[in-house]
Chain A
């Protein structure tokens, strides 16, 4: 019952609805090995030569926005994720994690697999690991707001499971700002 409740709560966290919005920054604190740096001053170095034409924006003229990504799992990873869910229902969290790691070896750069692994870690009672996986998913989900939102929800769930409710709230806000799942 507790498991079912946990799954429902987590499912709700990872599958909410929100509007598209600007991309977020990092949460104020994390279990990661570094604290996000203070806003950066414009980098400057010694000028390479005495006389220079007027500086221009280093970045080229903004290119047209790339087509929005939409991550999806391939058939093999989908089958393995399904098998992992069945194992979770039998409370075989260790086996479920191993099954998800098979999916990871097939699609290591797919943030959806990392989100699944993170979700599994929350169910298994290792939310600090889930946080790292949420951050990893967020990094990989660049360009896919929907998956980014799911990653933020995972981060929020992992923070809440660690009792870091204020940070969890901020993460949840970021998810909501990004869009619906």
Chain B
């Protein structure tokens, strides 16, 4: 009987030994894809001030020092900032650690030089890690090689967690006896005496349930590992495996990721107090969460420092000095975490990669996100929604919003805000809110009109009651937002003042299919319902889809697919896939120029006018407001010479907001544009079109200074005959005074 029991136990131990050895030999951690923001290119002429560069460096967790030390530091030196850049990996190659000296002048960067004083034409900062695509079990980690680990870390782990690590057989018999005695006395598992190897076994092979059976298996497996593998291998495995924190549904494994998660920098750059903090967290990542329980964690860190001094790992004076340092963890849950943007990244990649490859294969994903733009967009939306909360407070719902910012020329999506709670990884309004776009459709109707050759900005159209018999026999009778009719108005006014009746008249004249076709050319992904209400924007799409449509307007009639991911690189650094810029002309540049010119007038004379109080003087922009029926949706979409932004404000459950596009979304848009430092819109003048002054109310020719006129500049096909406004002599067109007036007008607006 005893023999049988012994044989059984021996067989079980042999089985465990085989299992643990086999699995450890093939040890391969699943590595979620790491997602990076677009790195900032520095070059002479870039409009960047020293504080702005410092802000960018701090975002990358560079530290200001008096004299340049290790990579990841910078110093201010008069009109220069010297930076010790870390080694960095980009989509198209790597850059070794290097020293860069950036000299500033009145208008930005004057020159860049390397450590030998040679001029450097262009240099990238590191790409900011903005998150990872971790699997459904939430395990996230950064694997580090032994040479990336500061020697203090294994020494500290041994001193605090397992003093006999170098000599024991994976278990510490004395420790087990001591713990067993305490556990027996209390009749439950209270005391742990786990060696680092046992902790590794528990984390990698076993569940977290504390039972005697599991403790037995853990001990056998630890001994087995120690018998088959070197201590260095076991330490490296421990450093990469162990659980060190929780961030929502994401669990932080390994010291490599923990270093980024808590301190925003690589493990190799941690100093003594920071290493001591991580070693303190090992004992209980929830209990010693430095963000939630800083005092408790600080006390344990100081205990770790004292143990290190007692064990001779560090000098007592070092421990004392380190104990004076604050915890120094980054404020945000993970420093830079943009779930709304990450969601679009994930969707983009899911088209080409199986989920398993994204979450386990260690891919690096390089995106178009610009953290500075993202932060500005988040801030602008949050501020406006807080203001609106005070004015339009509803008890039954919370006002929400979404923002998309793109670079029209490349189609790069620079920022996505999916709602007012930017850290919430949930309903992403920028991608998933399908909302009626209201008057945002009007530029496409007027573009269709211009393309027909029968209309231009000065063409007078009738804003009059409309009654259209629908297929179901009923009549559709839309009205203007003001409930008034305006009679004969030029096209430019119909667009700038967003007159519904005039626009419906034009749209019905053109044909719904023609307008629908224009929208499809600009990137609408499905044919809209071709019903008359389409002409007033009864088209439900997301803010991102609006950004795609308007990108073509901002781009001279060239459609450029919006781009979130630029490139994917394998775990070995091999380029796997690039998402290149694509461009297709979808409308004649001359017609788009005329529409854009009218959209500039929206800003100076129409519904965009309130933005002028916020935008920097002289900044030329073009845009359009949108308000859906019963004020359920407040939109503004518009662009400058370098950036396009789309803003939506509304309630998730479609309650009326009481806000027009100009009241809800426009201030957000204007604050974003104002803070971006964006260039003025300067469209290349196409052949066959001439900038012309007409009266905003009548469409007749009227130069600035013409009595009784509201002169507005529009683009008309060259040779277009426009009747002059009474009192505005045709001979005055183009005189020196008029040109001075035009110059003054542009300056004011």
A interface, CB within 8 angstroms of B: 23, 25-26, 30-34, 36-38, 40-49, 52-63, 74-76, 78-80, 94-95, 97-99, 101-102, 104-106, 108-109, 114, 117, 129, 132-133, 135-136, 139-143
A41-B453, A47-B460, A133-B583 given as contacts; is B122 within 8 A of A98 (CB)?
Answer: no
Residue of B nearest to A48 (CB): B460
Q: A98-B566, A98-B578 are in contact. List 18 more A-B contacts (CB 8 A).
A: A26-B588, A32-B584, A32-B585, A45-B461, A47-B460, A47-B723, A56-B701, A57-B733, A58-B692, A60-B733, A63-B734, A75-B45, A102-B41, A104-B409, A108-B642, A133-B583, A135-B583, A139-B558
Q: Could you tell me the distance between the alpha carbons of A95 and B685 in the complex, rounded to whole angstroms?
A: 34
Would you give the shortest CB distance from B712 to chain A, in whole angstroms?
13
- Whether a CB of chain A sits under 8 angstroms from the CB of B71 is no
Tell whether, in the assembled complex, residue B121 and residue A75 are in contact, meaning their CB atoms are under 8 Å apart. yes
Please, which residues of chain B bring their CB within 8 A of the CB of A33?
Answer: 521, 559, 584-587
Tell whether, in the assembled complex, residue A48 and residue B719 are in contact, meaning their CB atoms are under 8 Å apart. no
Would you give the shortest CB distance from B328 to chain A, in whole angstroms?
34
Please, which residues of chain A bring their CB within 8 A of the CB of B557?
Answer: 139
Tell whether, in the assembled complex, residue B121 and residue A78 are in contact, meaning their CB atoms are under 8 Å apart. yes
Residue of B nearest to A121 (CB): B580
Please, which residues of chain B bring their CB within 8 A of the CB of A141?
Answer: 684
A43-B456, A95-B93 given as contacts; is B585 within 8 A of A53 (CB)?
Answer: no
CB < 8 Å neighbour of B575 from A37, A94, A129: A94
Tell whether, in the assembled complex, residue A108 and residue B458 are in contact, meaning their CB atoms are under 8 Å apart. no
A76-B122, A104-B581, A105-B407 given as contacts; is B460 within 8 A of A58 (CB)?
Answer: no
For window 465-508 of chain B, which residues contact chain A by CB distance below 8 Å? 488, 490-491
Please, which residues of chain A bring their CB within 8 A of the CB of B451?
Answer: 37
Tell whether, in the assembled complex, residue A95 and residue B575 are in contact, meaning their CB atoms are under 8 Å apart. yes
Residue of A nearest to B585 (CB): A32
Please, which residues of chain A bring their CB within 8 A of the CB of B410?
Answer: 101, 104-105, 108
- Whether a CB of chain A sits under 8 angstroms from the CB of B139 is no
Would you give the shortest CB distance from A42 to chain B, in whole angstroms?
7
Please, which residues of chain A bring their CB within 8 A of the CB of B462?
Answer: 46
Q: Could you tell me the distance between the alpha carbons of A26 and B583 in the complex, rounded to whole angstroms?
A: 17
- Whether a CB of chain A sits under 8 angstroms from the CB of B219 is no
Please, which residues of chain A bring their CB within 8 A of the CB of B121?
Answer: 75-76, 78-79
Tell whether, in the assembled complex, residue A43 and residue B699 are in contact, meaning their CB atoms are under 8 Å apart. no
Would you give the shortest CB distance from B620 to chain A, in whole angstroms?
14
Interface SS of chain A: loop
CB < 8 Å neighbour of A43 from B582, B589, B720: B720
Residue of B nearest to A94 (CB): B578
Tell whether, in the assembled complex, residue B585 and residue A135 are in contact, meaning their CB atoms are under 8 Å apart. yes
A34-B521, A76-B41, A104-B581 given as contacts; is B454 within 8 A of A43 (CB)?
Answer: yes
- Whether a CB of chain A sits under 8 angstroms from the CB of B91 is yes
Q: Could you tell me the distance between the alpha carbons of A99 and B585 in the complex, rounded to whole angstroms?
A: 24
CB < 8 Å neighbour of B44 from A56, A57, A75: A75
Some 9 contacts from A to B, beta carbons below 8 A apart, are A30-B585, A40-B717, A43-B717, A45-B455, A56-B721, A63-B734, A76-B43, A105-B412, A142-B686
Tell whether, in the assembled complex, residue B700 and residue A48 are in contact, meaning their CB atoms are under 8 Å apart. yes
B interface, CB within 8 angstroms of A: 38, 41, 43-45, 91-93, 121-122, 124, 407, 409-410, 412, 451, 453-456, 458-462, 488, 490-491, 521, 556-559, 566-567, 575, 578, 580-589, 641-642, 682, 684-687, 690, 692-694, 698-701, 703, 716-724, 726, 730, 733-735, 738-739
Tell whether, in the assembled complex, residue A53 and residue B684 are in contact, meaning their CB atoms are under 8 Å apart. no
Q: Kindly name the residue among A48, A74, A99, A129 whose own CB sees the greatest number of chain B CB atoms within 10 A.
A: A48
Q: Could you tell me the distance between the alpha carbons of A101 and B226 in the complex, rounded to whole angstroms?
A: 52
Q: Could you tell me the distance between the alpha carbons of A47 and B700 in the complex, rounded to whole angstroms?
A: 10
Q: Kindly name the residue among A32, A59, A80, A129 whose own CB sees the greatest number of chain B CB atoms within 10 A.
A: A59
Tell whether, in the assembled complex, residue B684 and residue A143 are in contact, meaning their CB atoms are under 8 Å apart. yes
Residue of B nearest to A76 (CB): B43
Tell whether, in the assembled complex, residue B41 and residue A58 are in contact, meaning their CB atoms are under 8 Å apart. no
Would you give the shortest CB distance from B43 to chain A, in whole angstroms?
3
Q: Could you tell me the distance between the alpha carbons of A74 and B47 in the complex, rounded to whole angstroms?
A: 14
Q: Could you tell me the distance between the alpha carbons of A61 and B38 in the complex, rounded to whole angstroms?
A: 47
Residue of B nearest to A46 (CB): B460
Tell whether, in the assembled complex, residue B701 and residue A40 are in contact, meaning their CB atoms are under 8 Å apart. no
CB < 8 Å neighbour of A45 from B458, B701, B717: B458
Tell whether, in the assembled complex, residue A52 and residue B559 are in contact, meaning their CB atoms are under 8 Å apart. no
Q: Could you tell me the distance between the alpha carbons of A101 and B720 in the complex, rounded to whole angstroms?
A: 40
Tell whether, in the assembled complex, residue A129 and residue B582 are in contact, meaning their CB atoms are under 8 Å apart. yes
Tell whether, in the assembled complex, residue A99 and residue B455 are in contact, meaning their CB atoms are under 8 Å apart. no
Would you give the shortest CB distance from A27 to chain B, in whole angstroms?
11
The 7 residue pairs across chains A and B that have the minimum distance between CB atoms: A45-B459, A61-B734, A56-B730, A76-B43, A58-B722, A60-B734, A32-B585
Q: Could you tell me the distance between the alpha carbons of A104 and B411 in the complex, rounded to whole angstroms?
A: 11
Residue of A nearest to B111 (CB): A75
Tell whether, in the assembled complex, residue B716 and residue A59 are in contact, meaning their CB atoms are under 8 Å apart. yes
Residue of B nearest to A41 (CB): B453
Please, which residues of chain A bring their CB within 8 A of the CB of B694?
Answer: 58
Q: Could you tell me the distance between the alpha carbons of A149 and B546 in the complex, rounded to whole angstroms?
A: 35
Tell whether, in the assembled complex, residue A75 and residue B734 are in contact, meaning their CB atoms are under 8 Å apart. no
Please, which residues of chain B bring their CB within 8 A of the CB of A59?
Answer: 690, 692, 716, 718-720
Tell whether, in the assembled complex, residue B43 and residue A53 are in contact, meaning their CB atoms are under 8 Å apart. no
Residue of B nearest to A23 (CB): B687
Q: Could you tell me the distance between the alpha carbons of A146 and B739 in the complex, rounded to whole angstroms?
A: 29
Please, which residues of chain A bring their CB within 8 A of the CB of B700?
Answer: 48-49, 52
Residue of A nearest to B366 (CB): A98
Tell whether, in the assembled complex, residue B586 and residue A40 are in contact, meaning their CB atoms are under 8 Å apart. no
Tell whether, in the assembled complex, residue B567 and residue A55 are in contact, meaning their CB atoms are under 8 Å apart. no
Tell whether, in the assembled complex, residue B583 and residue A132 are in contact, meaning their CB atoms are under 8 Å apart. yes
Q: Could you tell me the distance between the alpha carbons of A61 and B412 in the complex, rounded to whole angstroms?
A: 41
A60-B738, A75-B121, A109-B409 given as contacts; is B580 within 8 A of A101 (CB)?
Answer: yes
Please, which residues of chain B bring their CB within 8 A of the CB of A57?
Answer: 719, 721-722, 730, 733
Please, which residues of chain A bring their CB within 8 A of the CB of B716?
Answer: 43, 58-59
Please, which residues of chain B bring their CB within 8 A of the CB of A142?
Answer: 684-687
Would you give the shortest CB distance from A159 to chain B, in whole angstroms?
14
Would you give the shortest CB distance from A122 to chain B, in whole angstroms?
13
Q: Could you tell me the distance between the alpha carbons of A129 and B589 in the complex, rounded to whole angstroms?
A: 18
Please, which residues of chain B bring their CB within 8 A of the CB of A94?
Answer: 575, 578
Residue of A nearest to B43 (CB): A76
Would you give the shortest CB distance from B567 to chain A, in whole angstroms?
7
Would you give the shortest CB distance from B81 to chain A, in whole angstroms?
18
Tell whether, in the assembled complex, residue B588 and residue A36 are in contact, meaning their CB atoms are under 8 Å apart. yes
Would you give the shortest CB distance from B384 to chain A, in whole angstroms?
28
Q: Could you tell me the distance between the alpha carbons of A79 and B738 in the complex, rounded to whole angstroms?
A: 44
Residue of B nearest to A78 (CB): B121
Q: Could you tell me the distance between the alpha carbons of A49 and B692 in the complex, rounded to whole angstroms?
A: 20
Please, which residues of chain B bring their CB within 8 A of the CB of A80?
Answer: 122
Residue of A nearest to B521 (CB): A33
A106-B122, A129-B582, A142-B685 given as contacts; is B701 within 8 A of A58 (CB)?
Answer: yes
Residue of A nearest to B722 (CB): A58
Q: Could you tell me the distance between the alpha carbons of A117 and B77 in the complex, rounded to whole angstroms?
A: 39
Please, which residues of chain B bring their CB within 8 A of the CB of A101?
Answer: 410, 566, 580-581
Q: Could you tell me the distance between the alpha carbons of A31 and B583 in the complex, rounded to whole angstroms?
A: 10
Q: Could you tell me the distance between the alpha carbons of A34 and B642 in the complex, rounded to whole angstroms?
A: 25
CB < 8 Å neighbour of B45 from A37, A74, A95, A97: A74
Would you give the shortest CB distance from B410 to chain A, in whole angstroms?
6
Tell whether, in the assembled complex, residue B724 and residue A56 are in contact, meaning their CB atoms are under 8 Å apart. yes
Tell whether, in the assembled complex, residue B724 and residue A55 are in contact, meaning their CB atoms are under 8 Å apart. yes
Tell whether, in the assembled complex, residue B488 and residue A46 are in contact, meaning their CB atoms are under 8 Å apart. yes
Residue of B nearest to A113 (CB): B409
Q: Could you tell me the distance between the alpha carbons of A171 and B121 in the complex, rounded to whole angstroms?
A: 35
A42-B719, A63-B734 given as contacts; is B558 within 8 A of A135 (CB)?
Answer: yes
Q: Kindly name the residue among A23, A53, A54, A63 whose own CB sees the greatest number of chain B CB atoms within 10 A.
A: A53
Q: Kindly name the residue among B122, B558, B567, B588 whose own CB sees the greatest number of chain A CB atoms within 10 A.
A: B122
Please, which residues of chain B bring their CB within 8 A of the CB of A23?
Answer: 687
Q: Could you tell me the distance between the alpha carbons of A153 and B701 in the complex, rounded to whole angstroms?
A: 40
Tell whether, in the assembled complex, residue B717 and residue A53 are in contact, meaning their CB atoms are under 8 Å apart. no
Tell whether, in the assembled complex, residue B693 and residue A60 are in contact, meaning their CB atoms are under 8 Å apart. yes
Tell whether, in the assembled complex, residue A106 and residue B686 are in contact, meaning their CB atoms are under 8 Å apart. no
Would you give the shortest CB distance from B741 to chain A, in whole angstroms?
11
Tell whether, in the assembled complex, residue B122 and residue A79 are in contact, meaning their CB atoms are under 8 Å apart. yes
